[in-house]
């Protein structure tokens, strides 16, 4: 697996699909110059860039060196010209690695990587939150995100390919439909207090089927399927599953709903 190519596909094709989610959360929480944001699993940095454009001081952490390479390109000082923000940090690793003694506490922690779509991902997020929430001030908002009801997400039918192909490894990171209380369960385990939620339309649109296949594979949701079969088989079945969503002009369009939960650091 070419990890850099996959990170590029995430950065150039897939990450933008969640822009409506980022916008809705930032507008609801009035993200601006008074915001100190810690982004967990910041990926290639698009959500951080949008927060920084609103005046926020941002810190992003991610375990993927390939995705972080693209985040650095997006957030490097040259991209801001003479108005570069000094309060932008990118840390490869865990939230613990982002701690700076004496630094002001964060007012907002975001985890935009959808929770509840891979077996075991909720437990992993609980661990990240255990490290991150002590870095937030009392009452700081913590935002968790996940897929909406499967019946309201056209991409569900395509993602079922991942489950079918990964059947022999279904307990090893295979995709599953989101459950109603996934986000609340994670917040509760982390000792956070729920303080509102919302749903946002996040349609997935691609220039063609090939772009859709590349974008969807960049999410990691098909990794178990590729481990159980191979990339050729995954590409073939993904292409077939996408045909009902292809328009006459060749583009692919799948309406989806994503959900977010706002919780508070006690």
Residue 166 has pLDDT above 50, yes or no: yes
**Residues 111, 105: Cα–Cα separation, whole Å:** 17
CA distance 173 to 171: 6
What span, in angstroms and rounded, lies between the C-alpha atoms of 163 and 166? Answer: 5
**Following CA atoms 16, 66, 145, 262 in sequence, which dihedral angle do they give, to the nearest 10 degrees?**
-110
Confidence of residue 82 (pLDDT cuts 50, 70, 90): very low
As a residue count, the chain comes to 266
Q: What is the reported pTM?
A: 0.92
Supply angle C-alpha 229, 158, 61, rounded to 5.
80
175: confidence class by pLDDT, cuts 50, 70, 90 = low
Quote the Cα angle for 97-41-71, to 5°.
90
Binned at pLDDT 50, 70 and 90, residue 200 comes out as very high
- Within 176-216, strands assigned E span 193-201, 204-206
Output the pLDDT for position 161: 86
Quickly state the pLDDT bin for 157 (edges 50, 70, 90). very high
pLDDT-above-90 percentage for the chain:
71
Contact indicator for 225, 160 with CB cutoff of 8 Å = no
| Residue whose entry in the numeric block shows the structure tokens 């192909």 | 165
pLDDT for position 84: 46
* 26 neighbors 36 (Cβ within 8 angstroms): no
Domains, the chain, in order of start with CATH, read 3-153+176-205+255-264 (3.40.50.150)
pLDDT, residue 227, reads 85
When pLDDT is averaged across residues 159-177 and rounded to a whole number, the result is: 69
| pLDDT tens digits, 239-250 | 999 999 999 999
CB < 8 Å & 24+ apart, contacts of 51-55:
51/22, 51/26, 52/85, 52/88, 54/26
Strand partners, 263: 142, 194
Between 228 and 124, the higher pLDDT residue: 228
Q: What is the pLDDT of residue 115?
A: 83
pLDDT for residue 238 = 95
């Amino acid at each position: 697996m070419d990890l850099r190519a996959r990170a590029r596909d995430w950065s150039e094709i897939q990450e933008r699909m969640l822009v409506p989610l980022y916008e809705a959360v930032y507008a609801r929480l009035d993200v601006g110059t008074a915001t100190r944001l810690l982004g967990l699993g910041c990926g290639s940095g698009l959500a951080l860039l949008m927060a920084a454009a609103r005046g926020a001081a941002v810190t992003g952490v991610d375990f993927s060196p390939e995705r972080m390479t693209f985040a650095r390109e997006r957030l490097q000082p040259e991209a801001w010209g003479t108005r570069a923000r000094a309060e932008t940090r990118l840390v490869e690793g865990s939230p613990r690695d982002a701690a700076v003694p004496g630094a002001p506490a964060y007012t907002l922690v975001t985890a935009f990587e959808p929770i509840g779509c891979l077996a075991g991902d909720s437990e992993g997020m609980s661990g990240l939150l255990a490290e991150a929430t002590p870095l937030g001030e009392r009452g700081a908002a913590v935002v968790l995100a996940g897929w909406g009801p499967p019946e309201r997400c056209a991409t569900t039918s395509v993602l079922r390919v991942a489950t079918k192909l990964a059947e022999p490894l279904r307990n090893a990171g295979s995709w599953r439909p989101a459950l109603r209380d996934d986000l609340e369960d994670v917040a509760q385990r982390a000792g956070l207090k729920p303080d509102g939620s919302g749903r946002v339309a996040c349609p997935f649109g691609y220039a063609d089927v090939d772009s859709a296949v590349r974008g969807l594979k960049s999410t990691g949701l098909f990794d178990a399927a590729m481990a159980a079969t191979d990339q050729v088989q995954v590409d073939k079945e993904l292409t077939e599953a996408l045909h009902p969503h292809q328009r006459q002009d060749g583009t692919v369009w799948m309406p989806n709903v994503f959900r977010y939960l706002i919780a508070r650091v006690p």
